[in-house]
């Protein structure tokens, strides 16, 4: 006897439908009012004194708004725009990438994380090359439309561009190098697909407002954690402690951020939310920030566990080693020129 999943009642769906629209349109309204106010008053995050609210209310109340409400607004707005963009690319699921260029584009458009990738490549393995599949495996969790938009809304255009560029280089070079290793040592054979348990699977809702709400709900713990950190940094201003951490000291900063990123399981841009208070209140370099994002998404432990079953121990070790070396090189290049 098969068990049935509970079906949501019409009333519950109607409430979700209404609440999702209230949430999104409310965020859009706040963003418009906030933008007009900033332009009229000449207010910016670096110039709080021109803000009437800042001068009229206690500092902790203003920082509470900036650390939590403002962060929720930019994340929700970014997710909604990304969901709208992603809707126009759904038809690409019908095709299979035949080379690395298409594999990167395919991975960067589909809204899947590392756990959602392997079911797709399980059907690709007889149709395309190893380097093409590896490019897709790496690109998919690193990029998707709402990650790109959230990158811009939370951390700015420079981080967004660097994430796109180095996600491409990482996925392209890793695929090419792994296929070279495979051909050199002739030890490769496909394993069986092993599913993983994840709470950030693709949300299939066709309604962009509902999908935005459900995605944001999954991000709430990370937004609260980042907001709390931002609030503490802003109120206490632990300057001596932050200077002791010396985030700008390289290559140690990159080593630490990569070592933190690999054990984490992140998807849908949660690494971006974690980075916001660090980049706002510490001297964390852009190279270390990109290293954290690349390692937390492309080399995370859950991906490694699945790859062990799918491409074998030797090639998994080779791939992880290649990714770590490339991430360190990319971080050094970014810090050298920025």
At residue 112 the predicted structure's pLDDT band, cuts being 50, 70 and 90, is: low
**Does residue 81 sit in helix, strand or coil?**
helix
Number of H helices, E strands in the chain: 16, 0
Which pLDDT belongs to residue 14?
84
- Which of 259, 248, 261 shows the shortest CA–CA distance to 292? 261
At residue 5 the predicted structure's pLDDT band, cuts being 50, 70 and 90, is: very low
- Which of 106, 87, 120 shows the shortest CA–CA distance to 212? 87
Q: In the chain, what percentage of residues exceed pLDDT 90?
A: 21
Q: What is the mean pLDDT of residues 108-117?
A: 69
Q: Which of 2-6, 244-248, 309-313 has the highest mean pLDDT?
A: 309-313
Q: Peptide bond preceding 86: is omega within 30 degrees of 0, i.e. cis?
A: no
**Does residue 106 sit in helix, strand or coil?**
helix
**Positive or negative: CA dihedral 284, 77, 42, 236:** negative
CA 99 vs CA 51, 122, 141: distances in Å: 52, 17, 18
Q: What is the mean pLDDT of residues 129-151?
A: 88
DSSP secondary structure letter of residue 4: P
**Residue with more model confidence, 263 or 158:** 158
pTM of the model: 0.73
Q: Are 154 and 78 in contact (CB under 8 A)?
A: yes
Phi then psi for 37, rounded to 5 degrees?
-60, -45
- Which of 83, 175, 196 shows the shortest CA–CA distance to 124? 175
Q: Which of 5-9, 51-55, 70-74, 245-249 has the highest mean pLDDT?
A: 70-74
In the chain, domain spans? 13-337
CA torsion angle 79 81 83 85 (round to 10)? -140
């Amino acid at each position: 006897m098969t068990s049935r999943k509970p079906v949501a009642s019409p009333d519950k769906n109607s409430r979700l439908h209404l609440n999702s629209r209230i949430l999104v349109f409310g965020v859009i309204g706040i963003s418009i009012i906030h933008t007009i106010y900033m332009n009229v008053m000449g207010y910016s995050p670096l110039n709080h004194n021109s803000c009437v609210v800042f001068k009229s209310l206690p500092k902790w109340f203003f920082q509470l708004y900036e650390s939590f409400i403002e962060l929720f607004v930019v994340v929700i707005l970014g997710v909604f725009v990304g969901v709208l963009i992603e809707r126009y690319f759904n038809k690409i699921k019908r095709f299979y990438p035949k080379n690395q260029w298409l594999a990167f584009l395919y991975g960067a458009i589909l809204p899947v994380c590392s756990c959602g990738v392997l079911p797709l490549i399980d059907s690709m393995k007889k149709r395309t090359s190893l380097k093409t599949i590896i490019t897709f495996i790496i690109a998919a969790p690193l990029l998707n439309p709402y990650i790109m938009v959230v990158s811009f809304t939370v951390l700015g255009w420079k981080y967004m561009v660097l994430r796109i560029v180095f996600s491409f280089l990482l996925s392209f070079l890793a695929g090419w190098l792994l296929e070279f290793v495979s051909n050199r040592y002739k030890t490769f054979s496909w394993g069986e697909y092993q599913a993983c348990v994840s709470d950030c699977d693709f949300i299939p809702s066709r309604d962009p407002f509902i999908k935005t709400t459900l995605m944001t709900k999954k991000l709430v713990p990370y937004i609260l954690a980042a907001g709390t950190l931002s609030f503490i940094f802003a109120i206490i201003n632990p300057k001596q402690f932050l200077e002791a951490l010396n985030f700008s000291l390289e290559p140690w900063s990159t080593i630490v951020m990569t070592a933190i990123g690999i054990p984490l399981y992140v998807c849908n841009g949660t690494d971006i939310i974690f980075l916001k208070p660090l980049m706002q209140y510490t001297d964390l370099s852009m190279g270390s920030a990109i290293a954290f994002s690349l390692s937390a998404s492309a080399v995370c432990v859950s991906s490694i566990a699945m790859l062990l079953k799918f491409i074998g121990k030797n090639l998994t070790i080779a791939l992880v080693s290649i990714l770590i070396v490339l991430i360190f090189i990319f971080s050094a290049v970014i810090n050298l020129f920025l």
